[in-house]
Amino acid sequence: MDWIGAAMGMLGGVGLFLLGMRLMTEGLRIAAGRALRRILERWTATRMRALLRPTPRRAR
């Protein structure tokens, strides 16, 4: 019976994680809007541009 409780707890945890990911995705879509989408489309217009595009470096 103890393994049933552990399995239920794990399933509940995974469910909460997936719900949080969905909510965060929706929030980021709303926050980013069209401007970020345009920037990403421009940077990744072709496979070569996407491959050669450097990642931003952190300010030190």
Contact 43, 49 (CB under 8 A): yes
- 3-class secondary structure, 1: coil
How much is the pTM?
0.52
- Integer-rounded Cα Rg, in Å, for the chain is 20
The residue written with tokens 């809007």 in the block is 33
17-56 residue pLDDT tens: 999 999 999 988 888 788 888 888 888 888 887 787 776 6
Indicate whether 4 pLDDT > 70. yes
- Please give the pLDDT value at position 1: 66
Res. 57: pLDDT tops 80: no
Any idea where the domains of the chain sit in the sequence?
Answer: 27-51
> Alpha-carbon distance 44 to 40, whole Å?
6
- Which pLDDT does position 56 carry in this prediction? 67
